[in-house]
Amino acid sequence: MAVLDEYILRAARLLSDAADEDVDALCREIMQVFDLDYTNPESLKYINSSSSFRYSKSDLGMILQKLRLKREDSDDKAFGAAFCATITQHIRRLEQALEEGVKDDELKAVYDSIDYVYANARGYDSYTDGLASYSYGSSNRNDFNDEQTQLRIDKLKHFRDEELRKLKIAEAQGASVSLTASATSNVQVTLEATFEQIDKLPETTLSDDEKTLLKGMMGDLNTKDKSKRGSKLDKLLSWLAGKGTDVFIAAMPYIVQLIKSQLS
């Protein structure tokens, strides 16, 4: 579970009295972790006071809405494509059920409405693996619990990431073909510009050591020895296959252009 999702769940559970946690402590923890534009006007009175301001459930409710908006904005930017948006809607419905502590037949109804979509859909063959309640004739209420809800959320997030990866790879390949196939195009992807794109990747995507390694392997492709270039390219492509979509997008246009120029 992502950090943002975890705090949203904790806040929602506490507001519904389903968690034994201090409201003030949780609010302060959230405000320290996230850059949220929220200030209770009453807290200003305590700035020069020996007493300390304490957050209330009302504050927590406002902070929770800020967190949800932050998550919605992040997901909209990353998964705005139509096919990803549908999966996101199903993820949200499961997350809402988890936050609200939905149980028994009501939770089964949520499962059913989502399971029927993915259980027999092409490309989602592994969806039902591990789903204890994927037996619609069963009335075992132990099959409807937080663990099963979270499992569905994790599965759908995995499928959503895969869909986005396919889209980004297709876009990168299309851009590369368009760039190199046009005889009249004056656009060139230079090694220096590619290095700049690699350096812009966050450390969560690629560490500094990995960036140095990638740039070194790309620089090695400029060798005139075709046999060496082929083996170096195979090594680079194998390395890229284990990295994220953002790394692929940053490196691939230059690689395609270089190969095209060396073959012409």
Share of the chain above pLDDT 70, in %: 84
Q: How far is CA 78 from CA 9, 75, 214, 249, in A?
A: 21, 5, 25, 15
What digits encode the pLDDT tens for the residues 159-199? 888 887 777 666 655 544 454 444 334 446 688 888 888 88
Res. 30: pLDDT tops 90? yes
Res. 150: pLDDT tops 50? yes
Q: Tell me, what's the pLDDT at 180?
A: 43
Share of the chain above pLDDT 90, in %: 31
Q: Tell me, what's the pLDDT at 197?
A: 85
Q: What end-to-end distance do the CA atoms of the chain give, in Å? A: 49
What digits encode the pLDDT tens for the residues 124-134? 888 988 887 65
Res. 254: pLDDT tops 50? yes
What digits encode the pLDDT tens for the residues 39-86? 998 888 887 777 889 999 999 999 999 999 999 888 887 776 655 778
